[in-house]
Structure 1
Amino acid sequence: MNVAELLTDGFGRVHGVVHETIDGLTVEQLAWRAAPEANSIGWLVWHLTRVQDDHVSEVAGVPQTWTEDGWAGRFALPFSDDAIGYGQNSDEVAQVRPDGDLLAGYFDAVYARTIAYLATLTDPDLDRVVDRRWDPPVTLGVRLVSVLDDDIQHAGQAAFVRGILPG
């Protein structure tokens, strides 16, 4: 197994969890929150997708799917197009109310672009520095594992919320 296959497997597992979690849910179920300050399934999946889109697009040197393919307009959220969910407050979380088809469509588009990018990677590519704002500087390998880790955590949180949905 090479690096591209390994990362593809990881992102593929997230893909499965996301679809198992959101399939068949209504807008109200996607927006349901276990507590007033908790995150909804819809927000968690939107956020993990935005982070993946933002970070993978940056290292791949391509525009984000969110803006390039018109997803920002389709979601029509009251945030800047560069918002990815970090630092959002409870009121902002509540404003993310996509239907399942829209959410799945954006997630699948980002997933497809991610998998296509991963297929181009070789092991030596992982050592390329992609962010010098940190000490030590962030390599491509560290960035991709960070995105995958974020995705795994948020997909798991969303699956948990689905498990406790009322009714």
Structure 2
Amino acid sequence: MSARKPGSTPAERTPAPRDDLAADLAVMARLEGRPLPTVHELAEMLGVSSTTAFRIIARFKRNGMLKLIDRVVLPGDICHCVADLRTRLLTGLDLDRLEQRLREDPYVSAAAAVTGKHNYRVLAVHRDMAEANAWFKAMLTEPAVIDGALTFCRPIIDRRDYAQALLAAGTG
């Protein structure tokens, strides 16, 4: 048996995590809400080689599970609002136009097609209430929009994590 160099790692390592959605979500659930670890830190966390950890990060980026962005802490006086929009289907092009507008709108932080009285729920951030009201009135001019309701809100939590929710892993 030969002696290892100081600082080297043993040859026997835990097998690499499986390359499937459930395994990827399990890794993401461990990372959510924390700064992205270095390749070495991820390798230590998962008990894999640095090469394997690098491949995991590369796969996450390739699959859209990981994007390197900096979140901005907004000032407390920023105006948050929720716009619920009711639509009519004149043509599919009208809804496509509305959804494209929502995707490209710099004020929109999230938009979802929903069930119930309204068809779309849009979360938006503006400098003030006057700007939010003007934005909402412009949204009402879209051909697909019949009417809507604008509500001002104060976010309590803004969670971008999803892996734990999909795995039903709880908050652990």
TM-score (norm 2): 0.26
More helix by share: 1
Rg comparison, structure with higher value: 2
